[in-house]
Chains A and B, each alone.
Chain A
Amino acid sequence: MAYDDEDPTATPPPAIARDDSSTVEIEDVEDAEADEAVSDFRKFASSLPGAANGGGGGGGALKNKKAAPHVSGKTVRRGEKDFESHGTRLQENALETSRTAMHDVLSYTRTRVPDNYMTGWYFPDHWAQEAGEDEKPEGLWRRDRVVALEAEKGQMTKSMGRVLRGAPKNMPGWDKAWLLPEEALYLVERGDLLLRWPRGSIEDIFPPPEEVDGLKREVARGEDGDYELGLPLSLQAAYSLFIGHEGDRGKVTLEKFQVYSQLRRAGYLVSRASPLLDPPPPSDTQTLWQRLFSLISSPKSDTPKSHPAMGPLVKPGLHRSYESVYHQLSLIPRHKPTPNPNTPAPEGPFTVAYHVFKSRPGFTKTNLPAPDFRIAVVNARTTDVPDLAEMEALLDSTPWDPPNARSGAGGPGIGHMYQRLKHGWRNVIVAVNDNGMVSYLEFMETAFGEEKLFERFDAKPRQGGKKSSGRNQRAGVVVVEAAGAVEAVGGKGGFLHPHLLLVHLRHPR
């Protein structure tokens, strides 16, 4: 309602809106959607497990794995906010309790009972050395995998980490699942992963099979127990290890990580985009239907005809269908999507970064289905609005996905036109990240020229309908020299708006 532009009277003058109590709710909704900080930490804190015994520290939320119901943001009612400070103690107290609750909730330290977490070791250069400079084109981001999991546990590994095939079996860690930096950091943030910095080499952590029985890891256990092997790292250390600039090996940019983790929190499964995972572009061989269709429509090519400079646009005479008239009227070349464009590959920020999948049963990370969404991530502070070439390159890097019943954009016919236009021929999502706040924009390649509205004028009326008057069936269009209209625009010939001409055409004298 607040954005209703159609009716100017619906927008009250600002002075009235401020004081009108009936509009307060709108403001709440606006801001609730707008500011995550509206979130009322007092209510959130009391909804968390362990809140009863004080929360905070490591103690309160310990049982979160078993006892915790999942808290969704919607279950906690949003707090109410004031317009401005009015200096009352009531307001100050409310603010103070909110801040204290926030402090308590955020003072939590990630702890887990044994067997309820995974341990990962940071080996930043392992695969870089192993794979050499030229990575085998398999789209697994081998060289970027920097954390080896001791063992895969829990739901999270359903979509994260890969055991890399093809490594020699005497290589330490060959049978371990290796994580990408964003996966490792996300798991650390969740408290699912204990990240450790190895003191020695990878052979100390993952000894070759023949040594396992003999040496084992007992050697290392001294006064500090397991810690002699490697330092357990903090969240801060994990950020400093995994966050980097675009193109840094074994790192991820903060804007990409934030988008990644937000999508994961929302329940999507996310994998790094790899062009090799995309289906091959459709071949040029036409299906039977396409060939049949082209037989029908081929006599009239889509390229606009040349017209005499002084008109007329439409040759005078009798036209049996609107189609032939409209065909002559098409002066402006229209964009026609093609399955195999020769656009150069996208460069810079407007490149698909992640493939996003809806969570579904039977999902396996080794056999990824076609992604539901493709997402490019840009930093709002360093990136300008894309120009047409960037957007075209980005869209053309996504697979050909024309609207049809299979793609969920309905069937043919005028009834599904808006669905088709909305679906587009290719689509991509751009996540714009401004210092941790992310907006998602969807871009589609749309072709209005593919929707021929005039075809329905020629459609035969339904058989047996009472209202069919018989006249329509035989009606032709008589095109007269629309002299009056042409003169009206100064006799310049041809500068006649097609719609204007249409009016003339549909009401021949």
Chain B
Amino acid sequence: MTSSSPRPHVRISKAANRYLVFDIDDVMYLRRNHNICSVFVGTMPQAPQQSAFMGLPIELMAEEAQVLVEKNVAFVVDDSNYHPARIAAAGPQDRQYLDAVKTVTSDAQRSMREQTEARKAMYANKGTTPAAATTTKNSPVTREAPEAWMATLTTSGALLTPSPGQDEQLASVDVPASYPLYAHLQDKGYFMMPGLRFGCDYNVYPGDPLRFHSHFQATGFQWNEDINLLDLVTGGRLGTNVKKSFLIGGRVESEEQHKDNTDATRDVRAFSIEWAAM
């Protein structure tokens, strides 16, 4: 977790106050190096009729975007404005993007051809009629050019500059009040997911959720905020039932620390609550 990473910054695309990351390499980088996994929210094109496995993009919580910006590994761009303007301005100078599209389509075509030939060869060796192979390429000529393969790239890649440029509109991040607790747990290496399913702010995992169950359901509070006792009971009770601990926390507020409270992770304390007995 070095602050000055040689790697290009992760580009976070802000669309209507939501934070999205589209580049799979960025996604895996965040997962491996910054314990941020977030939620995959896209339909998976290989298997579009199910929701158990989801694809790109990932939707970052505002807290995650803020942490990454503070660590100087990512920048947030207001894509609702920037991106359409960039596309509208695209001209002959943007060969790179079009070339990327063409490379993908021609790769796809070649691989399709190879597969067909491989299948033909296989059938020829077996001595049977290639029933499947004959049906593949007999489509009538349409008004589209015959080479009109389709490719939708996942990111706009070459159209977008890879690091914070001068012309890009850097956007701010609005974090909720529970941000100090998030930043604190993030700093300690926990993975976190949105807590909707367990009625909390964050679902806290000791490692990558690919391998580990979550340990805590965390809710952030202000240090001097009154907490309804019933909320503690409900949270603790629910947590115990799903084998998690209910965790509350917030930043300690006292007079002498008011001077420099820029670092959100500092002076945060957390408490875990378990249901003991009826």
A contacts, CB < 8 Å to B: 2-3, 8, 11, 13-14, 17-18, 27, 30-31, 34-41, 44, 48-49, 53, 57-64, 66, 68, 70-74, 76, 79, 81-85, 91, 94-95, 98-99, 102-103, 105-117, 119, 186, 188-191, 193-195, 197, 221, 224-227, 231-241, 243-245, 248, 251, 253-254, 258, 261-262, 265-267, 380-381, 432, 434-437, 439
- In the docked arrangement, what's the CA distance between A327 and B235, Å? 43
> Contacting A243 at CB < 8 Å: which of B18, B112, B209?
B18
For the complex of A and B, the 10 pairs showing the least CB-CB separation, nearest first, are A73-B52, A434-B196, A240-B83, A59-B111, A436-B39, A191-B45, A111-B108, A37-B209, A189-B43, A240-B79
Q: B22 contacts which chain A residues (CB < 8 A)?
A: 234-236, 239
CB distance from B38 to the nearest CB of A (A): 8
Is the beta-carbon distance between A76 and B52 smaller than 8 angstroms?
yes
Query: Most B CB atoms within 10 A — which of A35, A117, A236?
Result: A236
Is the beta-carbon distance between B112 and A62 smaller than 8 angstroms?
yes
Which residues of B in the span 21-62 have a Cβ within 8 Å of any Cβ on A? 22, 24, 27-28, 31-32, 37-57, 59, 61
Q: A30 contacts which chain B residues (CB < 8 A)?
A: 242-243
> Contacting A239 at CB < 8 Å: which of B49, B79, B139?
B79
Is the beta-carbon distance between B151 and A114 smaller than 8 angstroms?
no
CB distance from B64 to the nearest CB of A (A): 9
Is the beta-carbon distance between B196 and A112 smaller than 8 angstroms?
no
- In the docked arrangement, what's the CA distance between A27 and B59, Å? 27
B153 within 8 A of A: yes
- In the docked arrangement, what's the CA distance between A111 and B104, Å? 8
Chain A binding surface, main DSSP class: mixed
Is the beta-carbon distance between A84 and B212 smaller than 8 angstroms?
yes
B contacts, CB < 8 Å to A: 13, 15-18, 20, 22, 24, 27-28, 31-32, 37-57, 59, 61, 79-80, 82-84, 87-88, 90, 97-98, 101, 104-105, 107-108, 111-112, 115, 136, 139, 142, 144-157, 159, 176, 193-198, 203, 206-215, 240-243, 274-278
- In the docked arrangement, what's the CA distance between A40 and B53, Å? 9
> Contacting A27 at CB < 8 Å: which of B150, B209, B213?
B213
- In the docked arrangement, what's the CA distance between A73 and B53, Å? 7
Q: Which residue of A lies closest to B101 (CB)?
A: A232
Tell whether A13 pairs with B277 under 8 Å between CB atoms, given A95-B210, A234-B155. yes
Q: Which residue of B lies closest to A195 (CB)?
A: B152
Is the beta-carbon distance between B46 and A105 smaller than 8 angstroms?
yes
Is the beta-carbon distance between A62 and B87 smaller than 8 angstroms?
no
- In the docked arrangement, what's the CA distance between A341 and B80, Å? 41
Is the beta-carbon distance between B43 and A186 smaller than 8 angstroms?
yes
Tell whether A14 pairs with B43 under 8 Å between CB atoms, given A236-B13, A239-B20, A434-B196. no
A-B pairs with beta carbons under 8 Å apart, 25 shown? A17-B243, A27-B243, A30-B242, A34-B198, A62-B112, A68-B46, A73-B50, A83-B212, A95-B211, A98-B208, A98-B211, A102-B28, A102-B210, A112-B150, A114-B144, A190-B45, A224-B98, A225-B148, A226-B145, A232-B150, A234-B153, A234-B155, A239-B22, A251-B16, A436-B40
Q: Which residue of A lies closest to B17 (CB)?
A: A245
CB distance from B212 to the nearest CB of A (A): 6
Is the beta-carbon distance between A103 and B53 smaller than 8 angstroms?
no
Q: B275 contacts which chain A residues (CB < 8 A)?
A: 14
CB distance from B175 to the nearest CB of A (A): 11
Is the beta-carbon distance between A99 and B31 smaller than 8 angstroms?
yes
CB distance from B101 to the nearest CB of A (A): 6
Q: A74 contacts which chain B residues (CB < 8 A)?
A: 52
Is the beta-carbon distance between B151 and A35 smaller than 8 angstroms?
no
Query: Most A CB atoms within 10 A — which of B45, B90, B107?
Result: B45
Q: Which residue of A lies closest to B160 (CB)?
A: A236
Is the beta-carbon distance between B154 and A91 smaller than 8 angstroms?
no
Is the beta-carbon distance between B278 and A265 smaller than 8 angstroms?
no
Is the beta-carbon distance between B197 and A98 smaller than 8 angstroms?
no
Tell whether A59 pairs with B80 under 8 Å between CB atoms, given A27-B213, A112-B150, A236-B57. no
Is the beta-carbon distance between A434 and B152 smaller than 8 angstroms?
no
> Contacting B83 at CB < 8 Å: which of A27, A189, A237, A251?
A237
- In the docked arrangement, what's the CA distance between A160 and B47, Å? 20
